[in-house]
Amino acid sequence: MTLKDMKIGEEAVISTIKGGYGIHAKLESMGLREGSRITKKSAVFAGGPVIVQAGSTQIAIGDGMANRIIVETVD
């Protein structure tokens, strides 16, 4: 499942980030890396960004990238 497919309010752990070094570095520096626990806060309609919360930081991730972050939901 990708970040995009998650329901709002759902919690998950990031399993894979499909992207190059730049994307990894950028997400990592904001606290998102493989293994991070996140909660989906919102997704702006019609292909807008997905907003996730990691720790106490909220991060907006554009549609293109949200499709390339694979997550596993936790209960």
Partner 1 sequence: MKKILLMGNPNVGKSAIFTSLTGINARTSNYPGTTVSYTTGTLTVLKKGAACASCSKKSCKGCGYGSVEKIEVIDVPGTYRLDPLSEAEKVACQLLPEGDMIINVVDATNLERNLNLTLQLLEMNKPVIVALNMWDDTVHKGITIDVEKLSKMLGVPVVPTTGITGQGIDKLIEYITNYPHESAAKREYRNRWAAIGEIISAVQNLEHRRHTFLERLQDISIHPFAGIPVAIIIIIAVFRVIIGIGEFLIGIMEQLFERFYTPVIMAISRLLGGQGVLHRILIGDISGETIDYEAAMGVLTTGVFMEIGIVLPYILVFYIVLGFLEDLGYLPRLAVLFDRFMHRVGLHGFSIIPMMLAMGCNVPGILAIRNIESRRQRFITATLTAITIPCFAQSAIIFSITATYGTGYVIAILGTILSVWLVLGSVLSFFVEGTTDTLIMEVPPYRLPAFKVMLRNLGTRIYGFLTDAFPYVLGGIFFINILTILGVMDFLGKLAAPVITGIFGLPEGAVASFVLGIIRKDAAVTLLEPLNMSGAQMVTGVTLLIIYFPCMATFVIMLKELGLKDTFKSFVTMVIVTLLTGAYIRFFMNMFKNPWIYVILTVLLSFAVMLVLSRIADRRHQAEYT
# residues contacting partner 1 (CB under 8 A): 33
1 binds partner 1 (CB under 8 A): no
73 binds partner 1 (CB under 8 A): no
38: three-class secondary structure by DSSP: strand
Distance from C-alpha of 59 to C-alpha of 25, rounded to nearest angstrom: 15
- 23, 29 in Cβ contact below 8 A? no
Amino acid identity, position 35: G
70 binds partner 1 (CB under 8 A): no
63 binds partner 1 (CB under 8 A): yes
**Where does this chain bind partner 1 (CB under 8 A)?**
8, 22-23, 25-31, 33, 41-49, 51, 54-65
